A and B are shown apart, each in its own frame.
Chain A
């Protein structure tokens, strides 16, 4: 009995292996790439023969993250329309394929594989949560695809197949800490959602706080899907810190701000600095968030040459939310950055694009200013800004960094960040 069932398993495995091999051989994506060996190496099937070039947009249009990712998807469509109206990329019109990541990380991985192997897109744009990026990463690395990720994140990553157009920690967290130090803050309370970004960010904040002489008087986490912050706010009220560093994400922020206001804590007594509340999120919190701070690279209120047109175009775009914000601006950058890379490379091939990046000198006149791509770590230079939320849910700029900040995802240039901590964090982040 045991023997037969074992044999059956073996037969099944053998059949599976044959089927898989057959599928691999059959798929091959028609190997349309100019270089046949590239196709054999398991990569490119990008079709450059026609007047169009296929790009994949991968955003959660359903599920919990649709709240944020719908806007990113819309702004990618706007950027694609703009580029097409302007003649396309290397004379080819962008034909985008929109996929729904459905707030489900395995779905992100599946759709990435589908976009790369079946649709044969030249690059994929999207993702929001670090979990979605980490689901996409092994797939684009194995299939040698390209993924453009537009959201600020916890750093400690530099994949040759990913371009990061949002801030890494030294472009958002560290400027926020510099601002707090300039404000004379002595005690700080850390409040965050319970997942990789807040945990990693707080690990970095604690190290830098020690360097700056700021005392951490408390640290609290609540699951991402919970709105109730009452107990944790009671702890903040008891600890009486000078400032609260908020790494809460999503709707949970609304519950935090409401509980904070309910407890009688105000920006006058205990201000909050956030890294996830932008122009999109602030209106859902009403007047109770007014007067608190946020650290971003881009604000709608920035006075730069290219910002007014961006705001105007976005407001006029169908499906627009009416306000511009940092993550959507970073998504807008990502498509133009890709255009600049391809035009420099003169090719849509992944290796050629990466080679063009490595040569350096790729820039884009973004709404936040002229950003430069770092060819080594695939991040971009960004200005650091601190804004204070006003009654219109816009941000008054109260602090800015000394020029653009070069991306340093592994914080190599900061001697208070020990190598063993870095290795441990990189290992735990997977």
Chain B
């Protein structure tokens, strides 16, 4: 148990972080088919919101909980701006959105480099996340528990919103049959915008979590974008349940590999595993046709 428990718990926390990074993509990529390479920079924006909030309210006990909704709104508006200015002209050209958003990502990185100190900024975690809890003899850092709780809350909120709210119904209707939805009186353009707002906003929330784990700087978003897309594809595009399982599986597998081998090899092995899985099951864990959304 001693050998298995730490990597299992650490892996779950890493999976939760991947899940937070990928959750927004299940909407913007999964539901809307937009390949948004600037998603990582929305995560960065969320992390910088955490920093700025902390500058205004120095107590990290208060500033971090407050930063979560703020980061959601700021990243959401960045997403909305991107949708209105660029993406809405490219809905039928996914490769063009890929190229355009890579450019947007670079612009956002350079903007962060100009605005904030080049070396990055400190984000202090709340004092109630100091310390560890004892799980069968392993001192599990509380911060990891926080990441898992935050991811679970976001998944639950998103799933409930899609399933039970009237807006969730409109999103699902638009995705399943845009023309029919439109003739039934659904304003599909505003559905697109709100979906993009929420998807990007979730990246902002992920950014706050990321700011407590690693550095907050202009380059931080880059490390999340590829794993996030990988998780969404492996989970089955547009499937929240699939994304949850895929994120946890990748996180736990990567951590076990890192535990047994080395940090560099772990990444390679985890990605190889996903590629093999997609060879066997190209549609991912779940598919749209067999199950409803969420």
CA distance A331 to B174 in the complex (A): 58
Q: How many CB-defined contacts (below 8 Å) exist between A and B?
A: 128
Task: State whether B213 touches A67 (Cβ < 8 A).
Answer: no
Contacting residues of chain B (211-251) with chain A, CB-CB under 8 angstroms: 212-220, 222-223
Task: State whether B10 touches A227 (Cβ < 8 A).
Answer: no
- The chain B residue sitting closest to A62, CB to CB, is B110
Interface-forming stretch among A135-143, A177-185, A278-286, A297-305? Answer: A278-286
Contacting residues of chain A (277-295) with chain B, CB-CB under 8 angstroms: 280-281, 283-287
Contact of A66 among B118, B123, B139, B213 (CB under 8 A): B118
Task: State whether A227 touches B6 (Cβ < 8 A).
Answer: no
- The chain A residue sitting closest to B262, CB to CB, is A221
- Given A223-B264, A251-B120, A263-B139, A228:B222 Cβ within 8 A: no
- Given A64-B219, A231-B255, A220:B143 Cβ within 8 A: no
- Against A, the Cβ 8 Å flags (1 = close, 0 = not) of B96-139 are 00000000000000100100011111111100000110000001
CA distance A232 to B110 in the complex (A): 31
Task: State whether B223 touches A226 (Cβ < 8 A).
Answer: yes
* Across-interface contacts of B132 in A (CB, < 8 A): 262-264
* Across-interface contacts of B122 in A (CB, < 8 A): 283-286
Task: State whether A232 touches B258 (Cβ < 8 A).
Answer: yes
Task: State whether B10 touches A231 (Cβ < 8 A).
Answer: yes
* Across-interface contacts of A237 in B (CB, < 8 A): 139
* A68 contacts chain B at the CB level, 8 A cutoff: yes
* Across-interface contacts of A284 in B (CB, < 8 A): 117, 119-122, 215-217
- The chain A residue sitting closest to B260, CB to CB, is A231
* Across-interface contacts of B7 in A (CB, < 8 A): 231, 234
* A235 contacts chain B at the CB level, 8 A cutoff: yes
Contact of B120 among A235, A254, A263 (CB under 8 A): A254
* Across-interface contacts of A220 in B (CB, < 8 A): 262-263
* A222 contacts chain B at the CB level, 8 A cutoff: yes
* Across-interface contacts of B220 in A (CB, < 8 A): 227, 251
- The chain A residue sitting closest to B132, CB to CB, is A264
- The chain B residue sitting closest to A283, CB to CB, is B122
* Across-interface contacts of B195 in A (CB, < 8 A): none
- The chain A residue sitting closest to B113, CB to CB, is A66
Separation in Å of the A231 CB from the closest CB of chain B? Answer: 4
Separation in Å of the A407 CB from the closest CB of chain B? Answer: 28
- Given A67-B218, A262-B143, A263-B141, A231:B118 Cβ within 8 A: no
Task: State whether B10 touches A67 (Cβ < 8 A).
Answer: no
* A258 contacts chain B at the CB level, 8 A cutoff: yes
CA distance A227 to B21 in the complex (A): 14
Task: State whether A255 touches B214 (Cβ < 8 A).
Answer: yes
* B155 contacts chain A at the CB level, 8 A cutoff: no
* B267 contacts chain A at the CB level, 8 A cutoff: yes
CA distance A32 to B96 in the complex (A): 49
* B202 contacts chain A at the CB level, 8 A cutoff: no
- Given A234-B10, A262-B141, A226:B215 Cβ within 8 A: no
CA distance A263 to B263 in the complex (A): 18
Seen from chain A, the residues whose Cβ lies within 8 Å of a Cβ on chain B are 62, 64, 66-68, 70-71, 194, 220-223, 225-228, 230-232, 234-235, 237-238, 251-255, 258-259, 262-264, 280-281, 283-287, 321
Q: A194-B264, A255-B214, A284-B217 are in contact. List 10 more A-B contacts (CB 8 A).
A: A66-B113, A226-B263, A227-B214, A227-B220, A228-B14, A231-B10, A234-B6, A263-B139, A264-B139, A321-B119
A-B CB contact pairs (8 Å), 19 listed: A66-B218, A67-B113, A67-B219, A70-B113, A226-B263, A227-B213, A227-B223, A231-B258, A234-B7, A251-B215, A254-B120, A255-B215, A262-B132, A264-B132, A284-B119, A284-B120, A284-B121, A286-B122, A321-B119
